[in-house]
Structure 1
Amino acid sequence: MTSAPDARAVILGCSGTTLTPEETAFFRDLRPWGFILFKRNIGTPDEVRALTHSLRETVGRPDAPVLIDQEGGRVQRMGPPHWPKYPSGRSVGALPLDLARLGARLMAHDLAEVGINVDCAPMIDVPVAGSNDIVGDRAFGTSPEAVIATGRAVAEGLLAGGVLPVIKHMPGHGRATCDSHLDLPVVGADRASLAGSDFRPFRALADLPLAMSAHVVFTAIDPERPATLSPTVIREIIRGAIGFDGLLMTDDLSMHALQGPFRTRAEAAFAAGIDVVLHCNGRMDEMRPVAEATPRLAGDPARRARAALARLAAPERFDVAEARARFEAALAVA
């Protein structure tokens, strides 16, 4: 693991399958802690491998985090024809735990082969009746117990494949009645209800290295600000009741749940206690003001970043072809 004393506390996207000269210069100057890829960045395996190499070259760190949302189901950035289609969280939750772990291990193999070392999964939100479909079949189940068990299995599979998991969306997105990509969800449940259900998977998996915050207002805790921007939620719930001491990143700052100038959004997140901000769409006119508000990684955020990267290990050896055949056979009869 390399150190990153000059890294900025931000994860950024890029616009295409190769870096533009402007992006290369911007990243070299800024030196973000990490990067995130979306479908617009995914070409052939060789093209993805070249892109992840180019991103790391700009910051001079061979282990710089390169993230992707690869849950399976409707959230899968790498898919056919170059990679298999993986089942939804709901389908994975119906499998025996050893097969849930195996599916994640196979997914990690796909990612590690092209230089991606962080997966924004497992999603361990617990949906409730009447909530928005933004969670829906992405959830492993409708009970905290089911979500905890499968979430742990998926995290273990990713780690075994040399990929860091990111638990999301802390402290819980399952009660949201709107899509935070489009609007700001407001959850009115009392603290006892939240603690008894929504927060439980995050408490159970609080030993994992990385988590993503929820752009959700919890009126019983902070009626004014979403968790991402709330010192109260981060201090009392995420760091306190949940007990998470890993690296906490925002969900995407460009989502419409958040309002105001991008510099202001980033400043508010850092003031609330976020370690690293995330901006995904690759638009330079938005990334530049985010960058202006972003400090260097230092203090507890730097400690948490180092601890997260220390969890990266060489993939466990396994027979990929045999494992894939076994996983696909299990899905065929599920």
Structure 2
Amino acid sequence: MTAASTPRAVILGCSGTTLTPEESAFFRDLRPWGFILFKRNIGTPEEVRALTASLRETLGRADAPILIDQEGGRVQRMGPPHWPKYPAGGRFGALGEEAVAMARLGARLMAHDLAEVGITVDCAPMLDVPVAGSDNIVGDRAYGATPEAVTALGRAVAEGLMAGGVLPVIKHIPGHGRATCDSHLDLPVVEADRASLSQNDFRPFRALADLPLAMSAHVVFTALDPERPATLSERVIREVVRGEIGFDGLLMTDDLSMHALQGPFRARAEAAYGAGIDVVLHCNGRMDEMRAIAEAVPDLTGQAERRAGAALARLAPPEALDLAEARARFEAAFATA
């Protein structure tokens, strides 16, 4: 790959259901590693398919990853009338012995929906373990209230996505479950001691550290780094994410435009790269913010390039699925829960 075609270490959003001429030119020049879609980008299946194709065309890379947040419940960018409504993660616990199998099946069905329109990465499973008194930003998105439940269902969701030809992203590493405010709006500060974090919050991430992609938490852990959120903390990324948790996949930020982070966008990106983040993520499609971030974005090289390549190498063709039978079985499980 020549320097002129080397992807750069950023994932970006776009403004609508089609690319503007300005966006096309900007993306072609910048060469982001991938893109992320939100509800504003979702029209009919044909429109989404055309958008994902045009995003890849701007880069000249058929394997450019396209991401989405498709968890079910409150966080589902593709939904009715064109796609089914999926249950929130917290609802699987009511299925008893069927919970793990249905979590896998639901993710397999979601992967079918995504792959059909050219989306290859789902920002799920969410491995955060909620605690009493935490903000509802996690709430019923969590797969359970214990590390064991979150681990079991999170693994099932990851397996279901990969069986459908879609890569999972574990989030929000090293754990967002204790946050007492919404990081979209403010900076959460967690004051739990290191031992409690290790025994509870980190456990699902350790158990799923073999997965290819992870998203960081915009959360300050005072026992780890009292000054910087995990996304911007070299100590948290080196000692906890890469060290104790043992994650060696591609590490992306949560959205740089969230209000948990402060300061100019170029500085946010520079701080994330300096901390050890592989790829920064910017979601809202605002051109002024993307241009500011672009000033700091390096080429995807070294360990980040290795991790990105290893992640994409794990994409495989979807396993065979009787779609009608699978959907009927999934819906029946929740109808009787």
TM-score, length-normalised on structure 1?
0.98
Structure 1 residues 311, 265: closer, same or farther in 2, change over 3 A?
Answer: same
Pick one of 150, 154, 160 that aligns with 1:157.
160
Instruction: Kindly state the Cα deviation for residue 75 of structure 1 after the two structures are TM-superposed.
Output: 0.2
Distance 1:279 1:91 in 2: 30
SS at match of 1:94: helix
Match of 2:255 in 1: 252
1:21 alignment counterpart: 21
* Contact 2:52/2:117, CA 8 A, preserved across alignment: yes
Unpaired stretches in structure 1, ≥5 consecutive residues: none
C-alpha distance after superposition, 1:52-77 (max 9, x if no partner): 00000011111100000000000000
Q: Structure 1 CA distance, aligned partners of 2:233 and 2:322?
A: 46
Structure 1 stretches of 4+ moved >4 Å: none
- 2:56 alignment partner in structure 1: 56
Query: Structure 1 residues 319, 116: CA separation in 2 closer, same or farther (over 3 Å shift)?
Result: same
1:42 is matched with: 42
Aligned to 1:76: 76
1:5 deviates by 5.7
Residue 210 of structure 1 aligns to which amino acid in structure 2?
A: L
- Counterpart of 1:68, as a letter, is I
State the shift of 1:92 in Å.
2.5
- 1:176 aligned to 174, 179, 187, which one? 179
Within 5 Å, which residues of 2 pair with 1:305-320? 305-320=308-323
Could you report, residue by residue, the CA deviation over 1:158-208 in whole angstroms, capped at 9, with x for unpaired residues? 000000000000000000000000000000000000000000000000000
Question: Residue 169 of structure 1 aligns to a residue in which SS?
Answer: strand
CA contact (8 A) 1:126 1:141 kept: yes
Alignment of 1:229-308 (within 5 A): 229-308=232-311
Output the aligned Cα RMSD: 1.0
Task: Give the structure 1 partner of residue 196 of structure 2.
Answer: 193
Letter of the structure 1 residue corresponding to residue 176 of structure 2: H
- Give runs of aligned pairs for residues 92-131 of structure 1, distance below 5 A: 92-95=92-95, 96=98, 97-131=100-134
Q: What is the CA–CA distance in structure 1 between the aligned matches of 2:94 and 2:111, rounded to whole Å?
A: 20
- For residues 297 and 80 of structure 2, the distance between their equivalents in structure 1, rounded to whole angstroms, comes to 37
The answer to whether residue 214 in structure 2 is matched with residue 211 in structure 1 is: yes
Pairs aligned (count): 332
Residue 4 (structure 1) shift: 10
Counterpart position of 1:143: 146
Superposed displacement of residue 98, structure 1 = 1.1
1:251-297 per-residue CA deviation (whole Å, 9 max, x = no partner) reads 00000000000000000000000000000000000000111100000
Indicate which of 326, 331, 335 corresponds to 1:328: 331
